[in-house]
Amino acid sequence: MFTDNPAHAEARSVVAPLFTAQSLARLRPFVEQTVDELLAPQREALDVVADLAVPLSSRVICRVIGLPQEVAPRLAVWAPDIAALLVADYLPEVVTRGHSALREVTTAVNQAFAGEVPEDSGLWLLREAQRRGEIAPEDVWATASLLIYAGFETTSTFIGKAVRAALHAGAWDAVREAEPRVSVDELLRFDTSVQQVARFATRPVVVAGKHIAPGDLVLVMLGVANRDPAVFEGPDLLDMDRRIGRHLTFGYGVHYCLGAALARLEAEVALERLAVRWSTMELSGAPTTRSHHGITVLEHLMVSRRTEGERI
């Protein structure tokens, strides 16, 4: 995340095989099985975040990395503290919690290394790269930590946000009827998990009359860009028939999100299965959020079955 080429490309290439079309095709049955298990209990109320999105994303990323499934519940504790280090490492309490989380990740990785590591996992790729002398041990721990954070929190947050947006806009029936890839892309555009990324300008540029010099720190507001009326007609409307050529939810250029296809896979399966089992659904309370260093994170989203004939 914080390197440029060629170092960035070399580090990215180590774990890139995890996210190829072939790898994700092999992973799909596990994602489908996990969603079905999470939605199997018969109930009249569901917390989309705690009952579905969080356990789904944590189990999937553990599978991808090669960590035992019993580690999955711990990701929800580690991820926020790792995320805080990325944006608020000037706060002593953030540093304390973040380093504690990273130590626990390192311990989990080392314990997994001590056993059998699946050959299609991230840890296997990292161990082989280390054996060839391509990366150092600290690179293994850092990469695993990044995969845990980036592969878990952003995806779980998006699934919750997607359901909230659809219900708030009265578009749940439209989500159910739309092609999964189309509806997920529109929901990704409408309310992305990562609202901003930081970049340094490499050359002089003028934006909206403001002069930006080389070396200036720029915050690129992805959520705002995805509502650009010059690119999207009626950008503030959630339109399940919208055919999107490109949005910036996963970034752009060499730092484009490596796990974008994995996030799409999880969201498509989760929404498709949810739409079947919860064909009639409505919010049963105000969503619970927390402010996490300037980024609003969805913690709970309670829904209940809608009585036939009622409108959302």
Q: What tokens does 253 get?
A: 């250029």
What pLDDT score does 193 carry? 85
Closest by Cα among 293, 298, 291 to 89: 293
Report the alpha-carbon angle 154-41-33, nearest 5. 55
Stretch 36-41: mean pLDDT, rounded? Answer: 96
Query: Taking a C-beta distance cutoff of 8 angstroms, is the pair 71, 108 a contact?
Result: yes
pLDDT of residue 162 exceeding 70: yes
What pLDDT score does 168 carry? 93
Q: Highest mean pLDDT range out of 80-94, 168-182, 294-308? A: 168-182
What pLDDT score does 198 carry? 86
Place of tokens 């990325």: 86
Spatial CB neighbours of 110, under 8 Å, sequence gap ≥ 6: none
- Cα distance between residue 60 and residue 141, in whole Å: 19
- Given CA atoms 252, 182, 284, 168 in this order, what sign does their dihedral have? positive
How many angstroms separate the Cα of 222 from the Cα of each of 19, 56, 191? 23, 25, 10
Which helix or strand (DSSP H or E) is residue 299 part of?
strand 295-300
Ordered by where they begin, the domains of the chain are 7-193+259-305 (1.10.630.10)
Spatial CB neighbours of 82, under 8 Å, sequence gap ≥ 6: 98, 101, 102, 105, 145, 148, 149
What pLDDT score does 292 carry? 67
Strands (E), 154-240: 196-200, 205-207, 210-212, 217-221
Spatial CB neighbours of 61, under 8 Å, sequence gap ≥ 6: 75, 147, 148, 151, 152, 155
* Three-class secondary structure of residue 185 per DSSP: helix
Query: Taking a C-beta distance cutoff of 8 angstroms, is the pair 300, 272 a contact?
Result: no
Closest by Cα among 165, 164, 182, 176 to 274: 176
Fill in the amino acid letter for 150: A
* pLDDT bracket for residue 304 (50, 70, 90): very high
* 148 vs 55, residue with greater confidence: 55
Residue-averaged pLDDT of the chain: 90
What pLDDT score does 311 carry? 46
Which helix or strand (DSSP H or E) is residue 271 part of?
helix 260-277
Closest by Cα among 19, 251, 7 to 139: 7
